[in-house]
Structure 1
Amino acid sequence: MKSYYTYNNKSNGLNLKQYAYYINSYKYNWHKDIELLLVLNGEIEVNKNGESHVMHKDDIILINSNMGHATMARKPDSIAMVIRFDPVYFSTWLKNYNNLHFRCTSNVSTRNKPEFLRLIQTMKGMVFYADSDNEFDQMIYESLFHQIIGELMRSFRPEMKLNNDTNTSFSNERVMKIVAYLNENYKEKITLDNLVAVTGYNKSYISHIMKQALGINYYEYLTRVRMREAIFDLTNTDHKISDIAYENGFYDIKAFNTGFKERFGKTPSQYRKMLINKQKISNSSDHIYIDSDLLYELIAFQVKDVDCVDEKNDLEQILKLKNHLVDEIDKANLVLKSSIQKLNNLKNQLPDILL
């Protein structure tokens, strides 16, 4: 079991990635892939297509191809699993496959509906067969992916929208011009006039394209970038909170504490104390993929009972868990036997007078 896995099948154009990682950055991006994101732990906010979604454990959201988006952790140690695949996969059936537009986002009132539960169980089930050299496991892995596509088509039937890739990329690039400046100069005082001077766009246009892309204005994006860097310092340094605030563009410590609590529900000091994942990273945009043991723990014991889910899948997961535990017991036994042998050897070396 791996927390980062790629799978390719040239015969049907299937190119996908599946990975689980800590949400630790806030950065606008877009890509050609369709992305299905499942929250495994914590709470995150996803901004996409002018919408803002607060996602909790076992919530799912689909991000369509070339859709600008950004994610932000609202609680420490928030973890997401992602499946990304190239929409060219649909070209076997659809000529205008780039025009597919899915609407698939769960929330507190829908996350326990059967269609979402089936997606959750299938996404988690794929992990058990990832990175296997066994041909049968690879067949199972791909068949589970096809189940996800079937569920999306059946329960979240996509619309066919006109999708001008040139215009979409042009719009994304304009947004990137703004956010790149904010990402590089977040420590400074930045006004709309600064952005007008740098980009050449007028104030109303800047506000419009930011709102259209992410559902927030430029200053909220700037604040989130500063919060991202502050969280990085809270996690990776022992600096005083007042110094962290100042170093990341917050010149009023009281305003920093208030803004932090509004977004994360805790003060910076409370947030720092709660941090479990303290792995050092080189910068705030690095992905930290979770280790295989934690991934197994998050997946194996979160599979929900769904009436229409194949019982065979449930049995296979139970057997996987059993085999894993047996392996761990065997390893522990070997360590114990080795330790006993060393103790006996040491005992035999002791002079009789000491026995």
Structure 2
Amino acid sequence: MKYFRYTIDRGLLQVKSHIYRISTYHYNWHNHIELLWVLKGALEVCVEGQAYTLQRDDMILYSSQCGHATLALEEDTIALVFHVEPQWFLQYDQDFMKYRFVSVSTQDINIAERYKELRQSLAYIMNHHTAEISISALETMKVDGVIYTVLSDVYEIILASRYENQLSTKILHQEENFERMVHFIDEHFRDRLELATIADVGGYTESYTSQLFKRQLGITFLEYVSRMRLREAAIRLVNTDDMVIHIASYCGFPDVKAFNSAFKKHFKLTPSAYRERAKRIERHTVLEDWKEYISSDDTEIKGILTMYGSYLTRENVKYEENEYTKQSLVSKVQRVKEELQQLLQTLE
């Protein structure tokens, strides 16, 4: 099965994009500049210690090495993510690595047009990279041209929202340590985890580790562990036929009662009801790198991408469209004129 995702690696031009279903909190810290576009539902993004609520069509852009986490606020929330290596911009702007930035599409009307173009371009690129038919060399060049447009739009947004990176070496080291602690939880959330164990991984006291989780993610250490367990459980309910009691045990819950209680509190449904609903909507996903990628056969997402991608296509043939519109209007006027003449003849 094919999924909505692609990778481009051509020297300095290194781009990745995918569409995935967002569920419970998951922390990320990487070297890519990330642009996230909500295609369906709503979610919360915690970046630089601040939480942003995004609705359908909203976008958020943030710098590399910027700890962030996402949480779906509605069932079946889906987003498109676009990653680009910062080295691409460094070849044009030698000060680029000094910039730190977070930009939300709803907060600055001055760059609203750039975000509009980004939606159209990202949809157009994804459509071409996941097309079932083979793409010619000329079409590939055209798609690459749209990618360069995306990068110039991103850079313009960065210039409008950047601030000098005041992070000290100590703070950067702290973020790396936090990433190591989170990675340890991601690998061992099925086990019984204590705050003391995680504190040892980061080299901090339990008290400081507890504060660090609240500051970085806005939730406690125990809440993060619980959300990792629930995330795995939700994926297994959808993609396997395992019994609920076995899923509860596998994901680290002490018993099925605790699992049912936590799951219903978070998803507003029992595990069994969640599985039944997923079957009704024929969900097709694959779990890889903690992501549920969306199948390129998903008609709803294909429809959204086609709608936005077609806007870009029409922009590229603006002259032809205007000529067509002009001819169409002339034809309509002529037709109305003839109908009026017929009506007058009838009245006479």
In structure 1, C-alpha distance between the alignment counterparts of 2:75 and 2:60, rounded to whole Å: 20
Report the counterpart of residue 233 of structure 1 in structure 2. 236
TM-score relative to the length of structure 2: 0.72
Code of the residue aligned with 1:137 in structure 2: it is E
Code of the residue aligned with 1:216 in structure 2: it is I
In structure 2, C-alpha distance between the alignment counterparts of 1:184 and 1:168, rounded to whole Å: 24
SS of equivalent to 2:209: helix
In structure 1, C-alpha distance between the alignment counterparts of 2:274 and 2:139, rounded to whole Å: 41
Deviation at 1:257, TM superposition (A): 4.0
In structure 2, C-alpha distance between the alignment counterparts of 1:45 and 1:176, rounded to whole Å: 20
| Gap change, CA 1:150 and 1:187, over 3 Å in 2 | closer
In structure 1, C-alpha distance between the alignment counterparts of 2:239 and 2:211, rounded to whole Å: 36
TM-score relative to the length of structure 1: 0.71
Report the counterpart of residue 147 of structure 1 in structure 2. 149
Report the counterpart of residue 56 of structure 1 in structure 2. 55
| Gap change, CA 1:284 and 1:85, over 3 Å in 2 | closer
Aligned identity (percent) is 29
Report the counterpart of residue 27 of structure 2 in structure 1. 28
Report the counterpart of residue 86 of structure 1 in structure 2. 85
Select 1:301's aligned residue among 307, 321, 337.
307
In structure 2, C-alpha distance between the alignment counterparts of 1:19 and 1:188, rounded to whole Å: 30
SS of equivalent to 1:299: helix
In structure 1, C-alpha distance between the alignment counterparts of 2:140 and 2:310, rounded to whole Å: 24
Q: Over the residues paired in the alignment, what is the CA RMSD in angstroms? A: 3.8
Deviation at 1:289, TM superposition (A): 4.5
In structure 1, C-alpha distance between the alignment counterparts of 2:81 and 2:138, rounded to whole Å: 23
| Gap change, CA 1:267 and 1:57, over 3 Å in 2 | farther
Matches within 5 A, 1:44-123: 44-106=43-105, 114-123=113-122
State whether structure 2 residue 257 is matched by structure 1 residue 285.
no
Code of the residue aligned with 2:46 in structure 1: it is N
Deviation at 1:36, TM superposition (A): 0.8
Deviation at 1:202, TM superposition (A): 0.7
Code of the residue aligned with 2:50 in structure 1: it is E
In structure 1, C-alpha distance between the alignment counterparts of 2:240 and 2:8, rounded to whole Å: 37
SS of equivalent to 1:222: helix
Matches within 5 A, 1:263-342: 263-275=266-278, 276=281, 278-279=283-284, 281=286, 285=290, 287-291=292-296, 294=299, 295-301=301-307, 311-313=314-316
Code of the residue aligned with 1:31 in structure 2: it is H
In structure 2, C-alpha distance between the alignment counterparts of 1:108 and 1:225, rounded to whole Å: 31
SS of equivalent to 2:34: strand
Code of the residue aligned with 2:233 in structure 1: it is A
Aligned length: 311
Select 1:216's aligned residue among 209, 219, 240.
219
SS of equivalent to 2:28: coil
In structure 2, C-alpha distance between the alignment counterparts of 1:302 and 1:271, rounded to whole Å: 31
Q: Deviations over 1:227-269 (max 9, x none)?
A: 1121122113334435533443333656544543443343333
SS of equivalent to 2:165: coil
- After superposing the two structures, state which structure 1 stretch, 160-169 or 36-45, moved more: 160-169
Q: Structure 1: any 5+ residue segments left out of the alignment?
A: 319-355
In structure 2, C-alpha distance between the alignment counterparts of 1:258 and 1:292, rounded to whole Å: 34
| Gap change, CA 1:107 and 1:199, over 3 Å in 2 | same
Deviation at 1:165, TM superposition (A): 8.8
Code of the residue aligned with 1:141 in structure 2: it is V
In structure 1, C-alpha distance between the alignment counterparts of 2:57 and 2:80, rounded to whole Å: 10
Q: Structure 2: any 5+ residue segments left out of the alignment?
A: 322-348
